């Protein structure tokens, strides 16, 4: 799984709602939502919300870079803008037709 950006983990069948998981500082979009080898947004949540399309969003959340001693160059606002634009692009796509 990629570490940054918007990633659909459950496309859903005829989804009625989008759910987006966003990790916190010094975290990771996969490890944050995984416990005992269960990535629960993809493995557990669809059972509870079957009409949802589920995404995870990752961004550079480092507070300090160990090797270089610098903080992440992105700002919360730019990460939010990135998430919103990518989600808007996903939502504007034509729904796939089933043959």
Quick check: is 98 in a domain? Answer: no
Quick check: is 44 in a domain? Answer: yes
Quick check: is 99 in a domain? Answer: no
Whole-number pLDDT of residue 49: 92
The boundaries of the domain holding residue 85 are: 5-92
DSSP string, 7-69: EEEE--SS-SEEEEEE--TT--TTGGGEETTEEHHHHTHHHH-TTEEEEEEE----SS-TTT-
Q: Which residue has the higher pLDDT, 97 or 37?
A: 37
Number of domains within the chain: 1
Quick check: is 43 in a domain? Answer: yes
Split at pLDDT 50, 70, 90, the class of 99 is: very low
Tens digits of residue pLDDT in 22-81: 987 777 888 889 999 999 999 999 999 999 999 998 887 766 555 655 555 566 778 788
């Amino acid at each position: 799984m990629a570490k940054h950006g918007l990633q659909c983990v459950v496309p859903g069948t005829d989804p009625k709602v989008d759910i987006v998981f966003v990790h916190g500082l010094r975290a990771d979009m996969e490890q944050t939502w995984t416990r005992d080898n269960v990535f629960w947004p993809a493995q557990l949540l669809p059972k509870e919300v079957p009409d949802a399309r589920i995404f995870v969003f990752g961004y550079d959340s480092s507070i300090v870079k160990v090797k270089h001693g610098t903080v992440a160059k992105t700002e919360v606002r730019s990460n939010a803008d990135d998430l919103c634009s990518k989600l808007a692009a996903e939502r504007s796509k034509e729904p796939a037709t089933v043959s």
